[in-house]
Chains A and B, each alone.
Chain A
């Protein structure tokens, strides 16, 4: 029983970075933009998130406010990266797949360059502490699984219904879905397609930045070049797996992170299994998931990946 509780209570915080990043990517893709640069934005977020608490409170006592500053900075720069991507793929209508790779290299490279200059080597930071909810965290079994994480974990899961509400129940969400499904029709009723796409990119970028900052501030409590380790790409795949729907995306993120914590738990039990194959597991899972959910592409935004040109017919 303890074993299962351990897996679940580890797996839930693991899922947060994937969850936030995929929800951001969901907004992008719902608006018709395939942003493969998510990984790069996350790297920037991870670096900036730890930079603020590290440089302000060097060695001294940290306070929560610096962590919040780090998170905000990560979100602002993430949004700027999203807008930069929009400039390339929305304004200039460049092909999104290859441009996303460019953004990824730019983000990872910039984070690495700045990290070497401002921090140097591996430095651990106090990070964000766990915040067990008084009362609820004392419940046996459920307490450690659901109610003894840090604040961001609760907020991330609260954000799932919020994202659902924004996407399906607000005028802006309707606009986002319209420009991703049929931009020409959206344009004909007066929606500014490119403007909505830019907004969606800013939201997606901010969330990707936040996801990265979560990794460095709350999960690893440090920054390294390999901190993202493909989570940005997995997040993009999760959007396909989750059929562009927040709740299903949450299910996907949980599935992945529970698989990861299961793998860690099995390693902890001393079962002899080559370490490298265990690390491979999530990446293999992504490919399998994509291979066996191909009909899901029929459910996706029909204008995904297609730039919109007002002056051109069809």
Chain B
């Protein structure tokens, strides 16, 4: 097999996968009578046309990056974290609690403390399914999903009860939200006229940290070993269950930090619907980014683009914004299938033989 053929084979499979994903999406779009090409055009290119929209894309890429980094740590350690949605909600509660309790602390103390509190709450919410998996063999797929629903209820309970804005009680409008958080928590918005905040640098630093952790420390090596082959890792003397729990806690901490950054940078108070599917999109971003920080950063930009683009289709071509969930679902299915095809050497050999036969015949005909 020539090297050239290998590259062509892999590239063409990836192109086929992208086409397959777009085709399934096109079927749904066709079913609602939308202009397929125009809709894809709006989703993929419209947000890039103005600085404001572009900043919104980056704004959504920030939590996506942080969550996807956490999910990739868990995934590489052999545990799938679907609970980022709940962990993020718990992180928001932790951050809000600190900001409400100590509003007068100076910025340099309050921001790290609040983010840390968010990380701890998220880590705790990730630790639960981790320890359940390690000690009681509870499937993390089911426990994390259930914890998402539980966290969502905790979240509304706190927003309606202990954290409810006192102004809401006097006004009587009853919107479940906290009061505006202390100014000392706010992250700077460095691009005038947009909401883009300094959290973006925080996300990039975290990406670097995860890269160093997973590939440059023995701790990360052991984590990846546990995920690649738990049997071999156990034989090699690695305490696999322990790394599993740690990986889940790290994963939860990242989702919690994403929540902390989101309210400190964007909303500046805890309101309903902040998590809004970031936890699930994070899974897609992590997979799409190849579970590597260097891939996750562009992938989160791409999915930020999809989210903003899907919002715009609602106004411009009348396609509901839910379309972004459809696309994300298809992308997961296509990625996992494509990965298996690319990893199958037998299939590649089969195609190679067919290709050779054809070229032989062509040569004979030419001769």
How many whole Å from B65's CB to the nearest CB in chain A? 19
* A94-B336, A109-B322 known; A283 vs B154 contact (CB < 8 Å): no
Whole-angstrom CA separation of A227 from B330 in the bound complex:
22
Asked whether A195 is an interface residue with its Cβ less than 8 Å from the other chain, the reply is no
Known: A237-B142, A287-B147. A98 touches B283 (CB 8 A): yes
Interface residues in A, total, Cβ within 8 A: 50
User: Is B164 an interface residue when CB atoms closer than 8 A count as contact?
Assistant: no
A49 to B32, CA, bound (A): 17
Cα(A237)–Cα(B146), bound, Å: 10
Q: Distance in Å from the Cβ of A234 to the closest Cβ of chain B?
A: 8
B161 touches A274 (CB 8 A): yes
A297 within 8 A of partner (CB): yes
A98–B80 contact, CB under 8 A? yes
Known: A94-B336, A114-B31, A116-B320. A108 touches B325 (CB 8 A): yes
Q: Using a CB-CB cutoff of 8 Å, which residues 139-187 of chain B contact chain A?
A: 139, 141-143, 145-147, 149-150, 153-154, 156-157, 160-161
* Nearest CB in chain A: distance from B26 CB, A: 13
- Which residue on chain B has the smallest CB distance to residue A275? B157
Is B153 within 8 A of A279, CB to CB?
Answer: yes
Given A98-B332, A116-B322, A294-B138: A110 in contact with B28 (beta carbons within 8 A)? yes
Q: B160: nearest residue on chain A (CB-CB)?
A: A276
The answer on a CB contact under 8 Å between A109 and B141 is no
Residues in A neighbouring B132, C-beta threshold 8 A: 287, 290-291
Q: Mark B307-327, 1 if CB is under 8 A from A, else 0.
A: 000000000000110111111
Among A99, A110, A114, A277, the one with the most B-chain Cβ atoms within 10 Å of its Cβ is A110
Neighbouring A residues of B319 by C-beta, 8 Å: 113
**Which residue from chain B places its CB closest to the CB of A312 in the assembled complex?**
B346
List of A residues within 8 angstroms of B32 by Cβ: 113-114, 117-118
Inside 8 A of A230's CB, which chain B residues have their CB?
A: 145-146, 149
Q: How far is the CA of A127 from the CA of B174 in the complex (A)?
A: 33
B-side interface mostly: helix
Interface centre among A84, A107, A279, A297, by most B CB within 10 Å? A279
- Is A92 within 8 A of B145, CB to CB? no
Kindly state whether residue B341 has any CB partner on chain A within 8 Å.
yes
Q: Is B280 among interface residues, defined by CB-CB distance under 8 A?
A: yes
CA distance A30 to B217 in the complex (A): 42
A290 and B320 contact, CB distance less than 8 A: no
| B141 surroundings in chain A (CB, below 8 A) | 36, 97, 100-101
The answer to whether B142 touches A106, judged by C-beta atoms less than 8 angstroms apart, is no
Q: Is there contact, CB below 8 Å, between B320 and A117?
A: yes
C-alpha gap A112/B323 in the complex (Å): 8
* Residue B95 interfacial (CB < 8 Å): no
Chain B residues whose CB sits within 8 angstroms of the CB of A106 once the complex forms: 325-326, 329-330, 332-333
B157–A287 contact, CB under 8 A?
no
Chain B residues lying within 8 Å of A105, measured Cβ to Cβ, are 280, 284, 325-326, 328-329, 332
> What is the minimal beta-carbon distance from A46 to any residue of chain B, in angstroms?
15
A294 and B157 CA atoms in complex are apart in Å by 31
Which residues of A in the span 209-256 have a Cβ within 8 Å of any Cβ on B?
A: 229-230, 233, 236-237, 240
Question: Smallest CB-CB separation from B154: which chain A residue?
Answer: A276
Residues of A73-124 at the interface with B, using a CB-CB cut-off of 8 Å, are 84, 87-88, 92-95, 97-110, 112-114, 116-118
Instruction: Say yes or no: A107 contacts B329, CB within 8 Å.
Output: yes
Residue of A nearest to B155 (CB): A276
Chain B residues with Cβ below 8 Å from A279 are 153
Query: Chain A interface (Cβ within 8 Å of chain B)?
Result: 36, 40, 84, 87-88, 92-95, 97-110, 112-114, 116-118, 229-230, 233, 236-237, 240, 274, 276-277, 279-280, 283-284, 286-287, 290-292, 294, 297, 311
Can you list 17 pairs linking A and B with CB atoms under 8 Å apart?
Answer: A92-B337, A97-B141, A98-B336, A99-B336, A100-B141, A105-B329, A109-B324, A110-B28, A113-B319, A114-B31, A116-B322, A233-B145, A237-B142, A277-B153, A283-B147, A283-B150, A297-B137
Beyond A114-B28, A290-B142, 8 extra complex contacts between A and B, CB < 8 Å: A94-B333, A99-B336, A102-B330, A106-B326, A118-B32, A230-B146, A274-B157, A290-B132
